[in-house]
Amino acid sequence: MKLQLINKTEIPLLGFGTFRIPDTEVESAVLTALDVGYRHIDTAAIYENEAGVGRAIANSKLNRDELFITTKLWVEEQTKKDVHKAFELSLKKLNIDYIDLYLIHWPSKGLIEQWQALEELYLAGKIKAIGVSNFHTHHFETLFPHAKIKPMVNQIELHPQLSQVELRLFHKQHNIVTEAWSPLMKGKFDALPSISKIASKYQK
């Protein structure tokens, strides 16, 4: 299943995250994910495994347009020049000619110039959709007056212990899709008695 962003780009509802998977292991992990049906692969410059993800893409039997690739800009890239350089490096490591979704990984003092660079890359056709990660409402309020294009996605920590109700409502009001990271709470569901009770009931 897929979800349509404000610009009509379709993003698969389920993505395979590669955080903390070393570059030497990520190719195998991604290929396995693709084999079982994943089509959205999420990586980031700071994960230092984009090259491995790129090898998996190259060695898969799938066409590029069957895949949805997300990567993220690290906070140190503060100027437009820095952003363009970082983007091209990610593109080279991933060994693809466009990114489906490019996110600013964390808010920083350079977020306005970073965002304007993302807009340039988007308008140049190098990115299908642009967004942010780990932003709160005040970050959007800082950004919006300077943005020609609003963020299409905000990837945030979201799970039963962190529901982010107010932020998700803000997203809805501004046509921003909420994307969850760590939705499975790193497997620590036993910390929630209600979920443990349900699991016990269904012997899971």
Helix (H) or strand (E) segment spanning residue 157: strand 153-157
Strand spans (E) along 18-152:
40-42, 68-73, 99-104, 127-133
Give all strands of the β-sheet with 127-133 in edge-to-edge order: 15-17, 40-42, 68-73, 99-104, 127-133, 153-157, 177-181
Q: Is 149 helix (H, G, I), strand (E, B) or coil?
A: coil
Q: Is 122 helix (H, G, I), strand (E, B) or coil?
A: helix
Q: Point out which residues pair with 179 in neighbouring strands.
A: 155
Q: Is 106 helix (H, G, I), strand (E, B) or coil?
A: coil
102 is annotated as an active-site residue: no
Q: Which of 47, 98, 102, 122 is catalytic?
A: 47
Report whether 23 contacts 49 (CB < 8 A): yes
Residue numbers annotated as active site: 47
